């Protein structure tokens, strides 16, 4: 009876999706295209948040601005973060690359280039992209980043990293 009960429970778990058998194939072009659309919207929203920060941060409230933007780009959020070659806003090494993708992305960002990849992490596919940033992105950058040298055109300093999950479950169309 024990083996019969275990077999029935196992079969039920498989059919109800409790234990899904993962498809090892990469995402389709359509699935990647959908993730690209999500990335584009997310990038626009993040840039809008940065410009809102720039418009509201002054010399009088710069410490508030530093904390506010560091909360938005909290390094515990794996789906968006800032990575740079200069010291971070609040000390420590939080803005340093955390994996191979971010290391390559930072190298390319320091040359003014973005980076793109599709990878699987713990069974979930992700679109990962970086957007190169320079110290002349906005004149207010130097209020918080006092370690930036004087603005000299396009001095690349880091990248905005984004990660978008790619739905590869054909049943959720």
Can you give the pTM of this predicted structure? 0.76
Q: What's the chain look like in SS3?
A: CHHHHHHHHHHHHHHCCCCCCCCCCCCCHHHHHHHHHHHHHHHHHHHHHHHHHHHHCCHHHHHHHHHHHHHHCCCCCCCEEEEECCCCCCCCCCCCCCCHHHHHHHHHHCCCCCEEEEEEECCEEEEEEEEEEECCCCCCHHHHCCCCCCCCCCCEEEEEEEEEEECCCHHHC
pLDDT of residue 14: 46
pLDDT tens digit sequence for 51-89: 888 888 888 998 888 888 888 888 788 899 988 877 655
pLDDT of residue 58: 86
* Pair 157, 134: CB distance under 8 Å: yes
pLDDT of residue 76: 83
Low-confidence ranges of the chain (pLDDT < 70): 1-24, 87-93, 137, 147-154, 170-173
pLDDT of residue 66: 82
pLDDT of residue 130: 96
């Amino acid at each position: 009876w024990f083996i019969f009960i275990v077999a029935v429970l196992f079969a039920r778990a498989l059919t109800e999706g409790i234990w899904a058998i993962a498809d090892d194939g990469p995402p389709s072009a359509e699935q990647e295209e959908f993730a690209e659309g999500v990335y584009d919207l997310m990038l626009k929203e993040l840039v809008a948040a940065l410009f809102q920060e720039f418009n509201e941060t002054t010399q009088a409230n710069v410490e508030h601005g530093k904390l506010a933007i560091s909360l938005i780009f909290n390094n515990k959020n794996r789906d968006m973060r800032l990575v740079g070659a200069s010291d971070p806003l609040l000390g420590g090494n939080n803005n340093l690359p955390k994996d191979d993708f971010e290391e390559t992305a930072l190298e390319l960002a320091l040359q003014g280039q973005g980076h793109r990849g599709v990878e699987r992490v713990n069974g979930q596919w992700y679109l990962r992209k970086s957007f190169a940033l320079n110290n002349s992105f906005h004149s207010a950058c130097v209020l918080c980043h006092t370690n930036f040298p004087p603005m000299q055109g396009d001095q690349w300093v880091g990248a905005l990293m984004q990660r978008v999950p790619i739905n590869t479950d054909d049943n959720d169309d």
